[in-house]
Structure 1
Amino acid sequence: MAISINTRASQTVSLTPQLQQSIKLLQLSNSELEQQLAKEAEENPLLEFEPNPEIESNLTQSNERIEVTQSSWANPRISQDDDEDWGEQYERIAHKQTLLEYLEEQIHLLNVAPDEQSLIAYLAGCLDERGYLPEDLQNIYIDLTSQTLSKDSYERLEKALAMLQSLDPPGVGARDLAECLSLQIDRILENVNTNRDIWELAKEITNSHLSKVGSKDWQKIRQASGQSEAAVLKAVNLIRSLQHNPGAQFERENDQWILPDIVVKLKQQRWIAESNPNAKPRLSLNNEYARILKENGQKKIDGALKQKMLEASWLVKNIAQREETILKVAQAIVSRQQKFFSIGAIGMRPLVLREIAEELEMHESTISRVTTQKYLACPLGIFEFKYFFSSQVSSENGSGISSTAIQALIKKIVGEESPSKPVSDTQIAQILNAQGYNIARRTIAKYRDILRIPPVHLRKQ
């Protein structure tokens, strides 16, 4: 056997410690950033950190907060000369992304035809708050064809459901608990190399013996599967570790009080985004240490101390870079959503991460980090950046409207209804259809639930 030495050139991506830190800081919220900086300052004497009094008071004086909800969106009256500092009035509730919004965001990124995206989005609108599909697929198909919203075959509807079930969170789109758990196990089996036998046993138990797990009938499961009781118990423990409610993370939590990163103001008939000075991290280099190091010269600096100085400089620069990136993304969002800030949610235009990424010449993953847990304050309230990204609903004339605007239209229709004769979900769908927007009745019902609007029989007076 001949032995030889060859030279080969190849390209690899290597993340430097500085870049890793920059990415980590970008995805932190204001409160998480405060905690991280406090920790860094404790470990590095060359850093000076002053806790943000706004965030501290936010944590300790919750009883003095003022709640501003989505009801204030309807008719904002803001003059050009209004100099109110919306950044200081941070005691407001922020919009929390719903399961349907999260799914629509993913559906828009699927590499499938627009009509297939519409079919998947229709099914997403049929899910309950747990993320399950409670109605039989055959009934949904009949409903679809009866509304003349689709001429798709039943097989295409099944394919659309499979695509929906491939999205996050794992288990979404399941029709029962067994399917929900099985979908999660399939996702795990695609990525694990160890314990595959136990996971495959867990899937067998989930599909065929789930009722016996509830009654703890291990002997019958062992006999049916041909496995030892120890293996069965391991598989059951894995099943219990799975999420039984994929939509749990999107359930409405207690009001979340936050300090916005950005404030939006009206100047010369145009809405602009500015950094909130109250939210800026109070971090700097220790001037006394820096002076001593400078006087002693680089050659006399201890190696460990020199490393601390380098790390401190990196952190200060990365914090500045974080603020600049957040502001750039906010400015790009505000530039596109001018109508929203003027008339409310009904003026929201469709927007995707890729659009902002291309303009700023950044990667979509970077935009995703910036839009998560970053907030802007405006006269309408406080909103997470992600709120301004929504899928597009096509109209008959070829124009598009965002799903957020559709929700606002539903709210407007219900707000104008007669108390003695409220409009049904079917009637709302017909009204929107007359305006050129083909929205399924089940999607109307889902949006109505998101808006916390009761069903028609509960609204009747």
Structure 2
Amino acid sequence: MNHSISLQPRHVQAAVFSPRLQHAVRLLQMSAQEYAQALRETADLNPFLEVEDPPAADAEGLAGSAFERITAAPASGAQHLSHDDSLDFMQRVALPESLHAHLHGQLGVLRLSQREAAFAAALVEALDDDGYLRISLAELGAALGEHSAEAELRIALKRVQALDPAGVAARSVQECIGLQLDAIADAGMRQLARRIVERHIDLLASGDVARLSSATEASPADVARAVAAIRQLNPRPGWQHGDAATRVVMPDVTVKKVRGAWKTSLNASAMPRVSVNTAYVELFEQHRKQAGAALKDCLEHARWAVGNAVQRASTILGVARAIVARQTMFLEHGPLAMKPLGLREIADEVGVHPSTISRSVHNKYMATPCGVFELQHFFSRGLTHATGGASAPVALQELIRELISVERPAAPLSDVDLARQLTQQGFCIARRTVTKYRQGMNIDPVERRRVQGERRAAA
């Protein structure tokens, strides 16, 4: 058989991106901080480009127009951009959330009376950065003007101590470690570790395995394993949500209700002022013939950078507004009302390619009355209902959290039970999906919740 290779011309249509367009795509994908830094680095090398950070916010709010902060010389026909100059600098958001916010969020899904919720919230606010309660319940009651409420505060303390992270709201290191012992899977090892923590904390601190073995009548090998398991626990649970583990982000857009309607605006304090230095431009024009090509390229790039800043802000705002228009029920009623949403739906609304939407929502944040969320948070594929509708995974996660929050402590719901209840409510969801959602919310499995319920009942 003869095989011959021949070359024949073919016409193939393919998208070709210019270096400038590729640069614009990279800028669109950057976070607010990364974008500002990129502008500053460009300005260091370009005499025509000026970048000025927004003035520090104060209690009166941030003065000046966000549009003026983006550019002092907008391109002809540039769209005016709605802005919010009232975002206080304290609304810069640290991720992950603070310990107090994390605990308040968990309390918010519990069915508590107003008085019970108030006592639990007061306990959360009394915790220090390590996650400890350093004042007595009597002192807290006196501070609240409830001198006879110590019994109610004791119940509230148990509720807070049952929240994530394990060990929170302890009044001593001993109690903190004791609250975390359920994490030890082996029952025998867990019992030995509990005996060591409750009765021999001093020997544990000194690491004296021989004396611990004698005191507990356990073999040195078992004691060594128990001590090793205890040392894996966290004596400062609050640090999981403290400053050492945070990175600060600045919301790109803000959403708030104004006269009954949701208003989406650019966050002025996230946007540096970008402009072309007019004095240098005039000097360049006067000596254009003597100026080299490099200066001409600098001026052209400075003007492009200003126009790109406007375009970038306009795209982010357009995407955010389209998201808000489709997730109004989430803003009104919380996670249970989140709707499924795809990139193409927003792309069709804004008039861009879905890949542009993907880049626009990456590392961009929206401040809402419900909290601060990355724009990606609002996109998800829907899980179908038996009736033909669909719900966003966030809504299903919140429903699972709600079902677990009202379960009987003595008979908590397994993932199979949860899937069955959701199916009875019309949701088509598998047990493995329930497990994935529960684990994603850091909710303990059924056996661990059962042990915790038994401990609370015994207390």
What's the TM-score bracket when you normalise by the shorter of the two chains?
0.5 to 0.7
- The one of 42, 49, 52 aligned to 2:51: 49
Query: Secondary structure in 2 aligned to 1:257?
Result: strand
Q: Distance in 2 between matches of 1:52 and 1:418?
A: 53
Q: Distance in 2 between matches of 1:298 and 1:13?
A: 36
Q: Distance in 2 between matches of 1:299 and 1:16?
A: 29
1:360 Cα shift?
A: 1.6
- The one of 34, 37, 40 aligned to 1:35: 37
Amino acid at match of 1:452: N
Contact 2:404 2:413 in 1 (8 A): yes
Contact 1:351 1:391 in 2 (8 A): yes
Map Cα deviations across residues 89-148 of structure 1 (whole Å, 9 max, x no partner): 1234369xxxxxxxxxxxxxxxxxxxxxxxxxxxxxxxxxxxxxxxxxxxxxxxxxxxxx
**Is 1:289 matched up with 2:291?**
no
Relative to structure 2, which stretch is displaced further, 297-306 or 438-447? 297-306
Query: Secondary structure in 1 aligned to 2:93?
Result: coil
1:12 Cα shift?
A: 5.2
1:382 Cα shift?
A: 1.0
User: Relative contact order (C-alpha < 8 Å, sep 6+): which is higher?
Assistant: 1
1:399 Cα shift?
A: 0.9
CA distance change for structure 1 residues 349 and 314 in 2, over 3 Å: closer, same or farther?
same
Q: Distance in 1 between matches of 2:277 and 2:261?
A: 41
**Is 1:270 matched up with 2:272?**
no
Structure of greater Rg: 2
CA distance change for structure 1 residues 424 and 9 in 2, over 3 Å: closer, same or farther?
closer
Map Cα deviations across residues 321-380 of structure 1 (whole Å, 9 max, x no partner): 100000000000010000111111111000010111112221111111001111111111
**Residue in 2 aligned with 1:413?**
403
Map Cα deviations across residues 208-267 of structure 1 (whole Å, 9 max, x no partner): xxxxxxxxxxxxxxxxxxxxxxxxxxxxxxxxxxxxxxxxxxxx9943321010001112
Q: How does 1:46-85 map to 2 (within 5 A)?
A: 46-51=48-53, 85=87
Query: Secondary structure in 2 aligned to 1:421?
Result: coil
**Residue in 1 aligned with 2:246?**
255
- TM-score, normalization: structure 1? 0.55
Contact 2:36 2:271 in 1 (8 A): no
Amino acid at match of 2:434: I
- TM-score, normalization: structure 2? 0.55
Q: Distance in 2 between matches of 1:270 and 1:86?
A: 22
**Is 1:90 matched up with 2:92?**
yes
CA distance change for structure 1 residues 299 and 84 in 2, over 3 Å: closer, same or farther?
closer
Map Cα deviations across residues 39-66 of structure 1 (whole Å, 9 max, x no partner): 10111111112245779xxxxxxxxxxx
1:298 Cα shift?
A: 4.6
Amino acid at match of 2:31: S
Relative to structure 2, which stretch is displaced further, 347-356 or 84-93? 84-93
**Is 1:453 matched up with 2:455?**
no
Q: Distance in 2 between matches of 1:408 and 1:286?
A: 52
**Is 1:368 matched up with 2:358?**
yes
**Is 1:403 matched up with 2:393?**
yes
CA distance change for structure 1 residues 402 and 54 in 2, over 3 Å: closer, same or farther?
farther
**Residue in 2 aligned with 1:387?**
377
Amino acid at match of 1:275: L
Amino acid at match of 2:20: Q
- The one of 428, 438, 445 aligned to 2:428: 438
Q: Report the identity percentage.
A: 39
**Residue in 2 aligned with 1:15?**
17
